[in-house]
Amino acid sequence: MTTWDKATWLGPPDSNYNGPMVEVRGLVLHIAEGSYQGTISWQKNDVSDVSSHFIFGLVEGERAEMLDTSITAWTQSSGNGHWVSVENAGYHYNQFTPAQIEANAQLYAWLHQVYGVPMQLADSPSDRGLGWHGMGGAAWGGHYDCPGPANVALRSTILARAQEILTPSPRRGQDDMLMVAKSGAGPSGETVPGHTRWWAGDGIYHREISDESTAVNLIKAIKLFYGDPRAEILSWGDSSPEAVQAVIGSIPAKSPALEG
């Protein structure tokens, strides 16, 4: 068996798949147009006539493997026997969550190690690399909006993260793994009325948020995205760093000289 140890094995379904893979050209990203559990249930239903190798949920830990990667899934019609496939929970008008970006990157890094898939983007069935369902056109079922423009654009982020996983940067230390939030100010001190601007370390990841509950979730998401328990908080709106640390766990204090 060729299974991934960072996903929960939930397969195989009783049917909805056939025979060995012809080759592995790369990974095809899909959007499930539904929930994590709903997609799992649908693929296990014999009448669905669909399957994928993997299903990733919106949050960390929701990673299911439905088929051995040496077996052909029923995911993208004529491309089935040539590409490993992953369904991501959500809808084509939404963007992958940080947990999904990380899961896809880790999976792609593993496929590179196991199958030698190249560290590059694919934009047609004749390419090799990190592809997307819509690139196959009518021959792949005519799903032109799968996984959606925002997620097609995220492939570069996923690929960069996969490359980082394979070759850890020597810069990835405690000072690099910095998470920062300031109420009403952007990374350069500019005013952002009514928002809290979040960004991380060297600015790879940033996003504006406007309510506290979203902020708590994003703190957790960014921490998972970077995967380093040494990540640090400087400030968070009107809450102290200590208050934020109480939510996400123990985090070392940062030198005041590096605040600002």
Q: Is residue 172 part of a domain?
A: no
If you write DSSP's letter for every residue of 159-188 in order, what string do you get? HHHHHHHHS--TT-STTTSEEEEEEEE-TT
What pLDDT, on the 0 to 100 scale, is given for residue 258?
28
* Of the candidates 66, 64, 76, the residue with the CA atom closest to the CA atom of residue 27: 76
What pLDDT, on the 0 to 100 scale, is given for residue 2?
82
Residue 65's SS3 state is strand
Identify the domain boundary among 166, 195, 220. 166
- The CATH number of residue 72's host domain is 3.40.80.10
* Of the candidates 194, 244, 188, the residue with the CA atom closest to the CA atom of residue 217: 244
Q: Tell me: the pLDDT tens digits for 36-79?
A: 999 999 999 988 899 999 999 999 999 999 999 999 999 999 99
Spans of the chain, pLDDT less than 70: 1, 168-260
What pLDDT, on the 0 to 100 scale, is given for residue 64?
97
Q: How many folded domains does the chain comprise? A: 2
**Domain of 227?**
178-258
Co-location of 39 and 153 in the same domain? yes
Reported pTM: 0.67
Co-location of 26 and 149 in the same domain? yes
Q: Which 8-state DSSP code applies to residue 90? A: B
